[in-house]
Structure 1
Amino acid sequence: MARTADRFAFETNWGPRFSGDGSEFRLWAPSAPSIELAIGDEAGKPADFLTMERDGAGWWHATTDRVRPGGAYGFRVESGLIVPDPASRRQVGDVHSLSVLVDPEAYEWRSADWNGRPWEETVFYELHTGTFSATGDFAGICDKLDYLKETGVTAIELLPVAQFGGRRGWGYDGVLLYCPHEAYGGEEALKQFVDAAHQRGLMVFLDVVYNHFGPDGNYIGSYAPEFFHQEIHTPWGAAIAYDEQPVRDFMIDNALYWLEEYRIDGLRLDAIDSIKDTTDTPLVKELAARVRETFPDRHVHLTTEDDRNITWHIERENGRPALVSGEWNDDFHHTAHVLATHEDEGYYADYSRRSVAQMAKALATGFVYQGDHSEHRGKDVGVSSAHLPPTAFVNFLQNHDQIGNRAFGDRLTDLAARRVVECLQAILLLSPQIPLLFMGEEYGDTHPFCFFTDFDGELGEAVREGRRAEFKKFAAFHDEDARALIPDPNAQSTFEASKLDWTMLDRPTYRRRLEMVKRLLEKRQRLVVPLLSDGLTGGCGEYHVSDDTLAFVVCWHLKDGSALHLFANLDDEPWAIPSDVVSGDLTCGEVLHAYPKGADETLRTGVLPGPSAVFRLESQKLIAGKNG
């Protein structure tokens, strides 16, 4: 790791080691009989070749001054195939072209002293760079930074930006994991965006994928088959061989590279349950420990996605994250979605009948499935999470998966009643868990966010037909003609339909929703966040569920003896709160939020109208609830 004034660089094991006198080019290919450095001409085409030398650890080396910053290079393997650097920082063109030598310290940072923000202040705004703005690039996000700050967002989370095959895609098929996609503006534009965000007090998180490579442009297996375990299968092919130290270094260095060289504030580790690590120390454990060790003086955060409902990675030490700051809590999403839409197919079948009790349990204690039997999965799922603080979980009503993995990319706003959705938004944004909004959710965008790719030929056909086949198990798509209506992922029109429509903000209905979200987030930062700092302890949540309506009460014991209460009724009928539930005076304390207007006054009489949500901040516990 190097820093010169306001310029940053991170020296990785893979990729070129830049020097003004002559850069060293490196490639790990232990069983390759020969590797040559390909030197590009002014057009970025291979023009000459330089023999590389192999050391005892399987690394091939060549040092030369014939490739200057901005110059093209690659590697020629024994078969004659010329491949890009797997740790390329920039490409001449697509994933099949030569790589470009980059001076990592060329960019001068204006926000070099930025140290981030505490975890409890985080309000995520997840966005896809290509569909967020009209230009579909990092500059387009920059144009909306003031808007996001005014909304109350504190952290922008980018879907993966590492270069993948084609120019359109979610990013989870990346093959050049060190290379910001040129379609979005490349490495300098990403640094400019992060710099601009930091100048406005906004954090930037990046989604990274360490469980597989994409199918188009991944050449590593052609010269380093040792990088993969062909005998271990994942949904995307052979497992990555994390028992090989150079392979392990490739991914851990990648995480540190984004955090140091790009000043990224945090990473979301995608689907860690699909990382098939055969070593005694899980990759995530080592990676997170290295991050904590490397950045002791910055607020740097990690989040994870994992459907096993495990907790070892989000445990706390002295009230603070030891490894990972927060786990994406699918359980909360699933309970909310079922309550709002009444859907009961697929994994929603595990939530359809007990969703009110499950939502209260998730809000009070973390996961729904804490060792319980899942009928959908046919096994017991999870471990106890009640001992963890609410801030160990990232909650959401929508995200890229939960929208985009629907056949037509439907948003919750288009599937559920407005009042129920607005109750759920209040629950999301004022509860002490870390909230996440998906782009456009803040104003109630109803446009789809579809699954889209940019593959052609046999791969394109396989992706299109595979996508449609996924929905055979759903009643609405048993018929082949119905499946044919599912948008083609490779069609330009599918991508275009997924772009945000910012003109919706010109309409009163959507402006009203935005103003509501702004008010909720302002109250969160001013009244709730101060009660979450200084090592909030676990076991602080209790809840009570109605026996006959879709209503519940949750209480969280927070800092300084404060008690945050949520009274929620997602039914159409009012709920007369039983006398044995409330043990305190409902006229004391402060009302943080009442939806709809006047719900707090009705609550004073012991009745909660429906649908409604009321948050109260008290100095005492008002309910007789349970925490498990």
Structure 2
Amino acid sequence: MTETFRVWAPVPRRVRVLVDGATSAMEPAGGGWWQSTVDSAGPGSRYGFLLDDATEPVADPRSLWQPDGVHGLSAVYHHSYEWSDQSWPGRALPGGIVYELHIGTFTPDGTLDSAIGRLDHLVELGVDFVELMPMNAFNGVWGWGYDGVLWYAVHQPYGGPDALKRFVEACHQRGLAVILDAVYNHLGPSGGHLDEFGPYFAGRTIWGPTLNLSGPDSDEVRRYVLDNVTSWLRDFHLDGLRLDAVHALSDNRAVHILEEMAAEVDVLSAQVRRPLTLIAESDLNDPRVVTPRPAGYGLAAQWNDDIHHCLRAALTGERRGYYVDFGSIEALAKALERVFFHDGTYSTFRRRHHGRPVDTLTTPAHRFLAYTCDHDQIGNRAAGDRLSTHLSVGLLGVAAAIVLTSPYTPMLFMGEEWGSRTPFQFFSSHPEPALVESTRAGRIAEFAEHGWDAAEVADPMDPATFQRSKLDWSEVDSAPLLEIYRKLIALRRSYGQLSDPRLDRFSVDFNEDERWLVLHRGDLRVIANLSTEPRTVRIAGELLLTNGPSTVDSEATTVGGECFAVVQVKDR
């Protein structure tokens, strides 16, 4: 049994590989690569690289398995898992519903295997995609995963690489597609050694060092990213990736790294004969992210924070921080009809004009994800408080109805479907004392910019912050909101009008003073009352009631709540 070890390391003059306690010299293999074949090595063998005269080995930048964490040795891992999902046809994003979750807090045990036991809940709910927050190996035991440093390895406390494959397989068996959150805009602050191997870095973001995507010697750095993208999709049978904060990618090439990703994923999709999806998180409000190549980057979709901001501010009255421009019913109606509220308008929070209009005649709405909350919009609040902390079941139903009957791709965040009362706070578990203090200070400084006092900020390094953020599944049995979510999702399934992505066939009426709006979805009307008082809504002589289930005629289909109704109106 032999194993060949390869690593790209153009910076050091000498590279050795330590395998199961024995050191072997590596030979140059061209282009900055080094290679060595070692006898008696195979799956499970622990190894690391010794650079120049170093006496302490460092992990493989392309490590697939870190059994002892990011500061430990890598372990040889072969993609030899025996899959049983060969008949899985995949799932395209249009018409689908996404459910975002964090493995560490989704169940009490916080592992991929324990999460499998809750998948039937998602099937009964009616969602199509499970979106996992980052799985890459990061420093510590628990955290959000956005400070990963070994992008090819699955975080061991979640179960490691085989556990992710078991989870994906279990999802496919139930008809659920799986999307993974992938972070390429920065590395975490601890456990990373990429810069010791080669010219991987080219500056910093507010979160950490950013990659050299367009400077000298950047070809292999880009390859590092592109190979990681295709490896997740091919080797772990994932159905898509959510690309974190793509606005922070620093790339000045004529062909942007996002365009390259999309092109390579299209090729891979043809090879594996199933849909593969790339979804961006972008703060740019730029439709070019999802515009087909070559005019745009050609990604399948992007998150749309503007709809979230409009909805939350309208329902809660919150105006501090980046919510300052949002909150009116008119703003919500604009974002629903035209995708972005800031589409070239002045942003008070940014103190500049922001965004670009979307061509609603040619751009389908399924390219934008709409949501009442996500991990950022809860966890990046001082207390990690959910909408359920502030709103009645009726108003939570209003928020759900607007998102789930809109032309956009709906996304839910774990627990929102039953109005979870547990917070989702920012937590981390760095073992280094200096990093602990800098993380605490950084969170306080960040929240101060948004108007929160230091006393309101949960301590990210306190284990109790992590424990508080775990879902309480005992709440489900007495949650009236869950039935509303199930009915709304079933209604979206039953009526093609509600998943129609054509924005030119969609319109919104609203009344600012009475705080109601109506979504026109073919012959369906979604009437949402955002006030706390009953309302009677009349549009062009058509009477629509929103203070409970209402009917326009005896054959109307109705799903109603305390503050909203979905009614079918026959042609007069």
Do the two structures share a fold, i.e. TM-score over 0.5? yes
Q: Quick check: 1:571–1:610 contact (8 Å CA) kept in 2?
A: no
Correspondence 1:73-472 to 2 at 5 A: 73-80=47-54, 81-105=56-80, 107-224=81-198, 226-229=199-202, 232-243=203-214, 244-296=218-270, 297-315=273-291, 323-352=298-327, 355-385=328-358, 386-387=360-361, 388-455=363-430, 456-472=432-448
Distance 1:475 1:310 in 2: 28
- Classify 1:469/1:74 alpha carbon distance in 2 versus 1 (closer, same or farther; 3 Å): same
SS in 2 for 1:121: coil
- Classify 1:66/1:162 alpha carbon distance in 2 versus 1 (closer, same or farther; 3 Å): same
Distance 1:493 1:136 in 2: 15
Per the alignment, residue 520 of structure 2 pairs with 555
2:531 is matched by which residue type in structure 1? D
Distance 2:284 2:523 in 1: 31
2:62 is matched by which residue type in structure 1? A
Per the alignment, residue 491 of structure 1 pairs with 462
Deviation of 1:35 after TM superposition, in Å, equals 0.7
2:473 is matched by which residue type in structure 1? W
Deviation of 1:31 after TM superposition, in Å, equals 2.3
Gaps of 5+ in 1: 1-20, 41-46, 478-482, 557-561, 588-593, 623-628
Root mean square deviation, CA, Å: 2.4
Distance 1:356 1:92 in 2: 51
Percent sequence identity over aligned pairs = 36
SS in 2 for 1:471: helix
Distance 2:464 2:347 in 1: 38
Per the alignment, residue 29 of structure 1 pairs with 9
Distance 1:331 1:618 in 2: 30
Gaps of 5+ in 2: none
Q: Quick check: 2:345–2:354 contact (8 Å CA) kept in 1?
A: yes
Deviation of 1:571 after TM superposition, in Å, equals 2.0
Deviation of 1:421 after TM superposition, in Å, equals 1.6
Q: 2:35 aligns with which of 61, 65, 70?
A: 61
Q: Quick check: 2:94–2:409 contact (8 Å CA) kept in 1?
A: yes
Distance 1:390 1:466 in 2: 37
Distance 2:502 2:449 in 1: 43
Distance 1:38 1:235 in 2: 35
- Give the stretch that moved more between structures: 368-377 or 183-192: 368-377
Q: 2:511 aligns with which of 530, 546, 567?
A: 546
Distance 1:212 1:619 in 2: 54
1:95 is matched by which residue type in structure 2? V
- Give the stretch that moved more between structures: 376-385 or 341-350: 376-385
TM-score, normalised with respect to structure 1: 0.84
Distance 1:365 1:25 in 2: 52
Aligned length: 557
Q: Quick check: 1:389–1:539 contact (8 Å CA) kept in 2?
A: no
Correspondence 1:458-537 to 2 at 5 A: 458-477=434-453, 483-484=454-455, 486-506=457-477, 508=478, 510=479, 512-528=480-496, 532=500, 536-537=501-502
2:240 is matched by which residue type in structure 1? G
- Classify 1:383/1:95 alpha carbon distance in 2 versus 1 (closer, same or farther; 3 Å): same
Distance 1:433 1:129 in 2: 26
Distance 2:188 2:466 in 1: 19
Distance 1:460 1:475 in 2: 23
Q: Quick check: 1:572–1:611 contact (8 Å CA) kept in 2?
A: no
Per the alignment, residue 11 of structure 1 pairs with none
Deviation of 1:461 after TM superposition, in Å, equals 0.8
Q: Quick check: 2:408–2:499 contact (8 Å CA) kept in 1?
A: no
Deviation of 1:522 after TM superposition, in Å, equals 1.3
Distance 1:454 1:612 in 2: 42
Q: Quick check: 1:430–1:524 contact (8 Å CA) kept in 2?
A: yes
- Classify 1:238/1:165 alpha carbon distance in 2 versus 1 (closer, same or farther; 3 Å): closer
- Classify 1:582/1:275 alpha carbon distance in 2 versus 1 (closer, same or farther; 3 Å): same
- Classify 1:182/1:405 alpha carbon distance in 2 versus 1 (closer, same or farther; 3 Å): same
Deviation of 1:376 after TM superposition, in Å, equals 1.1
* 1:115-163 Cα shifts (integer Å, max 9, x gaps): 2123223211111000100110001110011111011121111000101
